[in-house]
């Protein structure tokens, strides 16, 4: 019998990419998204889209009664760390409380597997790099704390109710995969912001801090191709059939500075991409790089597109064919 997966946030950047890969592997998919940050056009053709909020238990009950759901993959969340420090209640309501509603519904309808889109923000300022899954969890913003609360809930749901779950902590998803690309509104991620400069939609890119103890004075971040990220989710989904609990970092294992990213955008787009240097942002760690050794050794996963050029080139190609994003 074909397995059916509920993908919350499946009209968003990562959720839609995972949905497309699920379809390619023969799964049936139901996408559940309130479209506050997602796009109808991002949902692959032929997939049922339920436009509702994850916190709406009545809507969830209606969906679970209508469909036999074999697994939930949960991507629906607010993701802006800076905003979370201005409006923490918004993040705990949406990311934490609404996820509890979803978990209660999944439990009520005996859904056996739950894959959670977590974040490297649960680590806060790391004590070492590359970061490992066993390192201390000390979020420095409400966004990271809202996700860590969910990880703790999942652990208790596994212990008490036997729910098989995975928490996938990832860093900077980037690039494009086929018809799926990055179109956040507003945009806050470095690569798409730099590409918007190259496309003439912005006049410059900001560099926040140039005095970090790195090779060129700018922050180092770990970028992972969104297609590699999606593939890891599918491997985890399958592994949860006989494993109770999986916690993995998903990263490239190699970091790139802000200047290196901007230089790569210049090289690929052949645009000067003017940069404006400004002060550090409070709370920005100098280096964030993940160790993905655990998932590599346990599930034989590895990044197919680890180099920065492949990541930026795929993002630029998508931007060239989608000059206005998804156009909605």
* Positions of E strands within the chain: 4-8, 28-32, 48-50, 71-74, 113-119, 164-170, 172-174, 205-208, 220-225, 245-250, 255-257, 275-278, 287-288
- Report which of 185, 226, 251 is spatially closest to residue 314, judged by C-alpha positions: 226
Q: What is the residue whose two structure tokens read 């560099």?
A: 207
Residue 115, SS3?
Answer: strand
- Report which of 24, 31, 15 is spatially closest to residue 63, judged by C-alpha positions: 31
- For residue 33, give both structure tokens: 């998204």
Q: Of the listed 13, 123, 143, 248, which one is catalytic?
A: 143
Q: How many CB atoms lie within 10 A of CB 120?
A: 23
- For residue 320, give both structure tokens: 């060239």
Is-contact 38 12, C-beta < 8 A?
yes
CA atoms within 13 A on the CB side of 36: 11
Residue 143 annotated to the active site: yes
What residues are labeled active site?
A: 143
């Amino acid at each position: 019998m074909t397995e059916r997966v509920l993908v919350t946030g499946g009209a968003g950047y990562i959720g839609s990419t995972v949905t497309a890969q699920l379809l390619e592997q023969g799964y049936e998919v139901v996408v559940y998204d309130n479209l506050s940050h997602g796009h109808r056009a991002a949902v692959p053709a032929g997939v049922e889209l339920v436009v509702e909020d994850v916190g709406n238990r009545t809507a969830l009950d209606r969906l679970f009664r209508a469909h036999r759901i074999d697994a939930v993959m949960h991507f629906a969340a607010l993701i802006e760390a800076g905003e979370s420090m201005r409006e923490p209640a918004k993040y705990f309501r949406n990311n934490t409380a609404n996820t509890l509603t979803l978990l209660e519904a999944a439990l009520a309808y005996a859904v056996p597997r739950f894959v959670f889109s977590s974040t490297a923000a649960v680590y806060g300022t790391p004590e070492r790099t590359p970061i490992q899954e066993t390192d201390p969890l000390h979020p420095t913003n409400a966004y990271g704390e809202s996700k860590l609360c969910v990880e703790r809930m999942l652990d208790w749901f596994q212990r008490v109710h036997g729910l098989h779950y995975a928490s996938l902590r990832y860093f900077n998803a980037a690039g494009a995969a086929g018809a799926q690309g990055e179109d956040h509104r507003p945009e806050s991620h470095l690569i798409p912001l730099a590409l918007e400069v190259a496309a003439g939609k912005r006049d410059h890119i900001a560099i926040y801090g140039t005095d970090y103890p790195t090779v060129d004075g700018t922050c180092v971040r770990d970028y992972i191709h969104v297609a590699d990220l999606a593939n890891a989710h599918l491997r985890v989904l399958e592994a949860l059939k006989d494993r109770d609990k999986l916690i993995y970092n998903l990263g490239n294992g190699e970091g790139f500075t802000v200047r290196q990213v901007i230089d790569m955008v210049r090289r690929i787009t052949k645009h000067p991409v003017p940069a404006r240097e400004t002060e550090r942002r409070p709370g920005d760690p100098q280096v964030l790089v993940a160790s993905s050794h655990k998932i590599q050794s346990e599930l034989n996963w590895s990044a197919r597109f680890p180099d920065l050029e492949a990541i930026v080139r795929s993002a630029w190609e998508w931007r060239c064919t989608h000059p206005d994003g998804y156009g909605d």
